[in-house]
Amino acid sequence: MEKVLALVEARLRSALGEPDARASVTFLGTDRVEVLRFTDTENGDGRPVVRYATLGMSARPMADPTDLVADPVRGPRAELLLTVRAGLADTDKVLRPLAVLAASPQVEGVVVAPGASLDVGEPLWPGAPFTSVLVGEPGGLVPDLELDGGMDPVRFLPLLPMTPNEAAWKRVHGAQALEERWLGSETDLRDPRRASVRLD
């Protein structure tokens, strides 16, 4: 477990640079989850972004809740990534909600995969218009991390904040349809204060 997390942290550092802050959260009956913060000012448009990455979710493979016995080696592994514009909201308060989402495979037996909705039941940070996220496709910002010993690779899954209206619309129409709406409206998904995309 520790070896996997060391490799994951090394991959995060190679892709995102040195973290400028980190926090750890432990929930009863679960392994510790850390959240690392990376500030990026070299993104090409002059507006800095803050990236939050979980570290700890990939220590164990995610298991289908219908499986009678969880396989300790095989099964999907992942960490979560959230990117927001810096300085527009108190987004550092997202650390605990992110840790809650990262612990959900252990706590609730869910398998987090692209296209899924994850809801924390409260604003992601103070004043945030979002209480849930859409899990995006991996392989963009941080490449998958291959592991030895028959273990599945660690995938780094981007999280896209959703307003309650967007989350309700996505439940009916699906993740792809919502992403197409965002794309068609040129929605800045990194804006921590953005309004819901037009859904009529």
Residues 16, 58: Cα–Cα separation, whole Å: 18
* 171-198 pLDDT per residue, tens: 999 999 999 999 999 999 999 999 999 9
137 in any annotated domain:
yes
* 143-159 pLDDT per residue, tens: 999 998 889 999 999 99
Residue-level pLDDT at 43:
53
Q: Which residue's structure tokens are 């690779």?
A: 153
Residue-level pLDDT at 69:
63
State the residue range of the domain holding 75: 2-184
Residue-level pLDDT at 71:
65
Residue-level pLDDT at 37:
96
82 in any annotated domain:
yes
Question: Nearest-CA neighbor of 111 among 145, 46, 62?
Answer: 62
Q: Which two tokens stand for residue 165?
A: 């209206």
Q: Into how many domains does the chain fold?
A: 1
Burial class (CB in 10 A: 0-12, 13-18, 19+), 95: buried
According to DSSP, residue 89 is labeled S
Contact 97, 82 (CB under 8 A): no
| Count of Cβ atoms closer than 10 Å to residue 29 Cβ | 8
Average pLDDT, integer, range 161-166: 96
Residue-level pLDDT at 136:
95
196 in any annotated domain:
no
Going by pLDDT thresholds of 50, 70 and 90, the confidence category of residue 116 is very high
Contact 156, 78 (CB under 8 A): yes
Residues 141, 156: Cα–Cα separation, whole Å: 8
Residues 58, 103: Cα–Cα separation, whole Å: 10
* 21-74 pLDDT per residue, tens: 999 888 777 788 999 999 986 555 667 999 999 999 999 999 866 665 666 678
Residue-level pLDDT at 165:
95
What interhelical angle do 175-184 and 164-173 show, nearest 10?
A: 120
Going by pLDDT thresholds of 50, 70 and 90, the confidence category of residue 90 is very high
Q: Which residue's structure tokens are 């909705």?
A: 117
Contact 43, 16 (CB under 8 A): no
- What percentage of the chain exceeds 90 in pLDDT? 71
Phi, psi at residue 167, to the nearest 5°? Answer: -65, -40
* 122-138 pLDDT per residue, tens: 999 999 999 999 999 99
* 4-24 pLDDT per residue, tens: 999 999 999 999 999 999 998
Residues 135, 116: Cα–Cα separation, whole Å: 5
